[in-house]
């Protein structure tokens, strides 16, 4: 499969919204708090702020995944379930890393696959919370990545 990374446009809001909506509604431990319309509106706001990069299949124009980055913070990194394990998440994260010398992000403690991914990609756990920090009320973990630390580690 050939795909490109590109900045999201307003027309992508429903496509990335569907990816995010599916994650919420197909993940057993996630609270089901948002309607499709609410998720699409949220994605539209991230796009309008210029935060979102999408991975788009060149032959079908299908959005395979997206990353929302606000400066040094990765706010969202999600893939359609059919496209996990294909290197798309790594490529989106590598793109985010090229934008800055340090990144931080949060992931839920229940999301073991995300934890493995971020640790493999050079992130370091900084702290854990009991869920009071996020709207879902789920315990989470803050991760940091620093380009300089990665350069000295290799």
30-59 pLDDT tens trace: 999 999 999 999 999 999 999 999 999 999
pTM of the model: 0.93
pLDDT for 148 equals 78
pLDDT for 133 equals 87
Alpha-carbon distances, residue 96 vs 24, 49, 57, 110 (angstroms): 23, 16, 19, 24
Residue percentage of the chain with pLDDT more than 90: 92
| Helix, strand or coil, per DSSP, at residue 23 | helix
Q: Is 67:16 a contact under the CB 8 Å cutoff?
A: no
Q: Please tell me which residue, 53 or 1, carries the higher pLDDT value.
A: 53
């Amino acid at each position: 499969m050939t795909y490109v990374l590109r900045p999201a446009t307003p027309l992508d809001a429903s496509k990335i919204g569907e990816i995010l909506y599916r994650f919420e509604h197909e993940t057993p431990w996630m609270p089901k708090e948002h309607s499709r319309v609410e998720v699409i509106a949220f994605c539209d706001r991230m796009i309008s702020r210029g935060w979102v990069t999408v991975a788009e299949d060149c032959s079908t124009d299908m959005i395979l995944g997206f990353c929302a980055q606000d400066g040094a913070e990765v706010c969202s990194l999600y893939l359609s379930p059919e496209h996990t394990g294909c290197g798309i998440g790594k490529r989106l994260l590598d793109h985010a890393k090229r934008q800055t010398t340090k990144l931080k992000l949060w992931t839920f403690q229940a999301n073991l696959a995300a934890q493995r991914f971020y640790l493999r990609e050079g992130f370091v756990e900084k702290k854990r919370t009991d869920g009071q920090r996020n709207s879902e009320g789920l315990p989470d973990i803050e991760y940091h990545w620093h380009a300089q630390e990665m350069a000295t580690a290799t």
